[in-house]
Structure 1
Amino acid sequence: MRILHVLSAEFFAGSVAYAVQLAEAHRAQGHRVWLVSDAAQLPTGATLVPAPISNRRYGQRLRNARLIRRLIQAEDIQVVHAHSRAASWVSHLALRGLKVPLVSTVHGRQHLHASTSLFDIYGDKVIAICGNLREHLVAEVKMAAAKIVEIPNGVAFGNEKAPGVAVSSATGPPSELRIAFIGRFNGGKGERAAALLQQVFPVLLRELPALRVALIGGELEHLPEAGKTALAQLQAEFGERVEVVGFTRDVPGWLARTTLVIGAGRVAIEALGAGRAVLALGEATFEGLVTEATFGAAAASNFGDISARQAPSAVDFSAVLAAAWGYLQAPQPVTAALQQQVRAHYDLPTVSARVLEIYQVARMRKAVPAFIPVLMYHKIPDAPLATKHQIYVTKDNFAKHLAYFKARKLTPITFADYLSFAAGERPLSEFPARPIVLTFDDGYTDNYTNLLPLMQQYGYRGVLYLLGDFDVRYNQWDLAADPTEPRSDIMDRAQKEAFVAAGWEIGAHTMSHPRLTTLPLPEAAQEIARSKAALETALHTSVVSFAYPYGDLNEPVKETVRAAGFALGVATDTGGLTIEDDRMQVFRINMFPNESTSSLFKKTSAWYRKYYRWKRGK
């Protein structure tokens, strides 16, 4: 994709590090990336365009918007990603009348005044970096919940390094006892630093003669006056034991030399990921020592930086002192389980993939806002079947379906086609005016003998959902439930390969066709992941979509499908109004033996999903 980030970057804050790491992660995958920023230099190989985004004067906002609009048009930008309210404002102005989507990441609480709720300038999708922030946007800013997705900051741990902002794992305990405040020294964080200098650090330095205190972060000149006075007194009393580091790009080095970190947001994430203990103290709350038990609540507040509702932000610094004193008296290493928990939650490749998906979602919502009919077929036999399961359409009737689609100028596409448009690999100008997706489950032999020739006759392709276990050669799950059901054979490998050769998309349908929600989740995960790997290996094709057997799913199963690497999960008669409402639960329409012209018209109409939801309350 061709991605433009717009950000306020008067200093290297966490939001700037987030944007830079996203840019680098996406560049590494082959995407083209531009950044419009206050800063003339940033640690990124993306194309950097300086502009005073932080300047909120109306004249400058208009000049910024014109610059961004010219850049979008000149470089054929496909998505704009804003990282502050100021950036969202100018991006919103720049995009007026264009079909380019705007995604905004909200990094902190928004000011609660009338214009915040009345003028939604955040764009097509909004990324909230933590749970409290999502709640704030819905409950207080009055933002539509459907447009918000919660995705945490991505951090490069271990070998996945982004220039200038990477984190390495600390090796063993530090040689010196050191407590470090890491963060900005202006605004709310500056007030916290001042209180630490006045109420916490003097006591610790006096009681622990081996202790050193490090102050790490930018904007030190903006530390409140009370903090500057307290700092001067500490330096006079304790000399070199008070280390005023200021801004540094060597945060990993300082983490390796630190016993206990006091900080919030990205600082806390990086420290925990590097195996260093953290007292989570932010602009909103004091979350205390982060442990496996407290990680969830601490992460929801971005480690103390963000409250879900407007509330006083007073902190009891005697509690901070007690927690620091208790830990420094008997330091304990961060557990491997906690470190892994943090690294998994904030893993940059996972986060960057989710953000890229949001870009695609926003792009397709803007370009294709209507419902795309996705039809679900199974067997295409020569004659009607004696079965209580009405999951077949005879060869002759299916031929009538295809003739109907042709007459109504419906264009069958695959999900792989859809994703190539979403990813910007194909121009949206080529997206069909009346798309339809034809899907076929299980891979019955009559799909090869009857379905494939008919589809080829019309020049159509579809999506074939197959089991990963090629030794399953008939509908054994039906017979296991009811031995009176007729046996229906499943294609052999060569017949399945014929569909790949014909340009069909192959999707996964588990290994053995179980009801996934009845299985232990690890077993369900094996059914899902193994089916993808088996099909890709056997048929030498990319498998991007998954069909839930029986349409049986729940939220844990959906997340397991996403984690297995599928871009889409297709359901049966459940799901959103459009594909982009929920990519892991795409609504499919059951097709039955005796579909009429009237029912075909209804089921292939753009209004059908709303009609279905209204009629059945789904």
Structure 2
Amino acid sequence: MRILHVLSADFFAGSVAYAVALAEAHRRDGHQVWLASDAATLPTGATLVQLPISRRTYKQRWRNIRALRQLIRAEGIDVVHAHSRAASWVSYWAVRGLPLPLVSTVHGRQHLHASTSLFDIYGDKVIAICGNLAQHLRDEVQMAPAKIEVIPNGVAFPNLAVAAGPRATSPDLRLAFIGRFNGPKGERAAALFEYVLPALLREFAGLRVALIGGELTHLPAHGHAALGALQAEFDERIEVVGFSSDVPGWLQKTTLVVGAGRVAIEALGAGVPALALGEACYAGLVTEATYAAAAASNFGDILPQVGLAAVSWPQVLADARAVLRQPGPVAPALQAQVRRDYDLGRVAGRVLSVYESARMKKAVPDWLPVLMYHKIPDAAPATRHQTFVTRDHFARHLAFFHRQRFTPITFLDYQEFASGRRPLKEFPRKPLILTFDDGYLDNYTNLLPLMQQAGYRGVLYLLGNFDLRHNAWDLAADPAEPRAELMSAAQKAAFVAADWEIGAHTLTHPHLPALPAEAAAHELSASKAALEQRLGVPVQSFAYPYGDLSAETKRLVAAAGFRFAVATDTGGQHLEDDRFQIFRVNIFPHETEASLRKKTAPWYRRYYRWKRGR
């Protein structure tokens, strides 16, 4: 993919560091990357284009817009990613009318402005770096929830084991405040100097305090006075470091870190306890119990509503004292979770998925019909379930699709276009995805020959348990239900040879939301692994048995490594509204040409929601 990042900071701010790290991660994965920025040099191998994005005079803005638009056209850019409000503004106008998406990462609370309400300057998709920020965008900015993705800033953690020894046994203790010393964070630092550090330095004779970060001269007056008093009383125990490019090195010789955002993340990832003190609030000592709430605030930097929360400085003092009295690394489980959640490679992959989603929604704005079939028998079985279409009726369905000039594709095909491996100009004008659940024997005897005769391919959702040879789940629920045979492994392999996509449908066809999380996760991951091993193909899509799902089920499906998941008569208006709850149309035994025409019409999803409310 060809990716353009647009930055407005004329200094190496956190948003710039994030964009550069993201660019490098995507370059390592083989993508081509450009950065348009005020800076003439940045620590990246991506192509740099110097533009004064942060200069907001309208004359300069329009110059920037023209330059970006020329760059986009000349280099064939696939997606533009803006990293500030100023960058989003010029990028919005630069891509206007062009067939490529704009993605914006929002790093902090946004000022409400005319351009926010009059124009959707943030583009097609918005990445909020924490949960509180996403809530602010929904509630205060009035942004459509479907376009917001919560993805944190990624961190390239060094390969470190949990530091079990030195910090826990050394007689020397060090507390490090790491961050900016201007603005609201300067006020927090000043209060820390006044209300917390003197007591700690008097109580712990071996304690040293390191002050790491830029803009120390911008401390408020009372902060300068408090710092001067600390230096006068404790002399060399106050280490005024200023800006440092070796924060990881300082972390390795620090007992306790006070900071917010990336500082807290890097500290916890290195195994160093952290007090999450940011410009918005004090999120406390980060433990396994407090981690989720602290992460939602970006470790103290962001509240969901306007305003700043009062800080209980006695509580900060108590939390710091507790760590210094029993120094040691954070719990290994917490360190591992932080390193997993904020891992740069994982974050870069999630951001790439956002690019793909925005790209496809822009290129394919209409609803893409996904149809659900099960059995294709010779004659109607004696069942109360409407999960079949006879062979002759299905042949008429295929004839209808041919007359309407539909082009059946698979989710693997769709992903080829989304990822840029196939050009979007080749995407079919009238795409259709035909899916078949469970893997019945009549799929081999009837379905496959009919589809091959029509020149069509589909998606076959199979159980990962190859020992299951009939619909045992139906018989368990109703012994009167007729037995329906499933295909053998060799018959399933015939679909692979015919270039069908194979998707997973669990191991045993359970109601997933009713299972404990561990059992549900096993049904998902084990079925994917079994199908990939036995059939030798990648398995990237999943079908929920009975259409049953929940927010937790969707999370488990994503965690199992699937890219897509199909529901039944629930889901978004567009496939990209939620790749893990794709609206799939139930096809019944006695569909007519009129009903098929309706169920494949571009307006059908909107009509269904209006009629059924879901």
Per the shorter chain, which TM-score range?
over 0.9
Provide the rounded CA distance (Å) in 2 between the counterparts of 1:356 and 1:535: 26
Task: Report how far residue 348 of structure 1 moved.
Answer: 2.6
1:172 is the counterpart of 2:168: no
Q: Secondary structure at 1:440's aligned position in 2?
A: strand
Q: Secondary structure at 2:155's aligned position in 1?
A: coil
Task: Report how far residue 387 of structure 1 moved.
Answer: 1.5
CA contact under 8 A between 1:475 and 1:490: conserved in structure 2? yes
What's the CA shift string for 1:66-106, capped at 9, x where partnerless? Answer: 22222211221111111111111111121111111011111
Letter matched to residue 607 of structure 1 = W
Q: Secondary structure at 2:111's aligned position in 1?
A: coil
Provide the rounded CA distance (Å) in 1 between the counterparts of 2:225 and 2:467: 77
The residue number in structure 1 matching 2:250 is 254
Letter matched to residue 134 of structure 2 = R
Structure 2, unaligned runs of 5 or more: none
1:611 to 572, 591, 607: 607
Provide the rounded CA distance (Å) in 1 between the counterparts of 2:488 and 2:88: 54
Letter matched to residue 142 of structure 1 = Q
Identity of aligned residues (%): 69
Which region of structure 1 is more displaced relative to structure 2, 573-582 or 55-64? 55-64
CA contact under 8 A between 1:168 and 1:252: conserved in structure 2? no
Q: Secondary structure at 2:453's aligned position in 1?
A: helix
CA contact under 8 A between 2:164 and 2:328: conserved in structure 1? no
After superposition, residues 289-368 of structure 1 pair within 5 angstroms as: 289-368=285-364
CA contact under 8 A between 1:575 and 1:587: conserved in structure 2? yes
Letter matched to residue 474 of structure 2 = D
Does the C-alpha gap of structure 1 residues 313 and 528 become closer, same or farther in structure 2, counting only changes over 3 Å?
closer
Does the C-alpha gap of structure 1 residues 235 and 360 become closer, same or farther in structure 2, counting only changes over 3 Å?
same
1:507 to 482, 485, 503: 503
1:489 to 485, 490, 493: 485
The residue number in structure 2 matching 1:120 is 120
CA contact under 8 A between 1:421 and 1:431: conserved in structure 2? yes
1:137 is the counterpart of 2:175: no
Which region of structure 1 is more displaced relative to structure 2, 175-184 or 261-270? 175-184
Task: Report how far residue 194 of structure 1 moved.
Answer: 2.9
The residue number in structure 1 matching 2:420 is 424
Cα root mean square deviation, aligned:
1.9
The residue number in structure 1 matching 2:275 is 279
The residue number in structure 2 matching 1:4 is 4
Provide the rounded CA distance (Å) in 1 between the counterparts of 2:492 and 2:433: 19
1:434 is the counterpart of 2:430: yes
Letter matched to residue 219 of structure 2 = L
CA contact under 8 A between 1:370 and 1:578: conserved in structure 2? yes
After superposition, residues 196-207 of structure 1 pair within 5 angstroms as: 196-207=192-203
Letter matched to residue 183 of structure 1 = G
1:447 is the counterpart of 2:443: yes
TM-score (normalised: structure 2): 0.95
1:575 is the counterpart of 2:568: no
Which region of structure 1 is more displaced relative to structure 2, 317-326 or 141-150? 317-326
The residue number in structure 2 matching 1:58 is 58
2:533 to 501, 518, 537: 537
Task: Report how far residue 434 of structure 1 moved.
Answer: 0.9
Task: Report how far residue 328 of structure 1 moved.
Answer: 2.4
Task: Report how far residue 399 of structure 1 moved.
Answer: 1.0
The residue number in structure 2 matching 1:164 is none
The residue number in structure 1 matching 2:455 is 459
Provide the rounded CA distance (Å) in 2 between the counterparts of 1:199 and 1:518: 51
Provide the rounded CA distance (Å) in 1 between the counterparts of 2:237 and 2:50: 40
Which region of structure 1 is more displaced relative to structure 2, 64-73 or 232-241? 232-241
Task: Report how far residue 296 of structure 1 moved.
Answer: 1.8
1:473 is the counterpart of 2:466: no
CA contact under 8 A between 2:164 and 2:329: conserved in structure 1? no
TM-score (normalised: structure 1): 0.95
Does the C-alpha gap of structure 1 residues 329 and 431 become closer, same or farther in structure 2, counting only changes over 3 Å?
same
Provide the rounded CA distance (Å) in 2 between the counterparts of 1:93 and 1:172: 55
1:241 is the counterpart of 2:231: no
Task: Report how far residue 170 of structure 1 moved.
Answer: 4.3
Does the C-alpha gap of structure 1 residues 42 and 328 become closer, same or farther in structure 2, counting only changes over 3 Å?
same
Task: Report how far residue 384 of structure 1 moved.
Answer: 1.9
Q: Secondary structure at 1:149's aligned position in 2?
A: strand
Provide the rounded CA distance (Å) in 2 between the counterparts of 1:129 and 1:268: 14
What's the CA shift string for 1:120-177, capped at 9, x where partnerless? Answer: 3100111111111111112212222221121222222344xxxxxxx88545343421
Task: Report how far residue 532 of structure 1 moved.
Answer: 0.8
Q: Secondary structure at 1:375's aligned position in 2?
A: strand
Q: Secondary structure at 1:271's aligned position in 2?
A: helix
Provide the rounded CA distance (Å) in 1 between the counterparts of 2:112 and 2:569: 40
Which region of structure 1 is more displaced relative to structure 2, 356-365 or 21-30? 21-30
Letter matched to residue 143 of structure 2 = M
Task: Report how far residue 114 of structure 1 moved.
Answer: 4.2
CA contact under 8 A between 1:14 and 1:265: conserved in structure 2? no
CA contact under 8 A between 1:448 and 1:491: conserved in structure 2? yes
Task: Report how far residue 316 of structure 1 moved.
Answer: 4.2
CA contact under 8 A between 1:11 and 1:218: conserved in structure 2? no
Q: Secondary structure at 1:261's aligned position in 2?
A: strand
Structure 1, unaligned runs of 5 or more: 160-166
The residue number in structure 2 matching 1:110 is 110
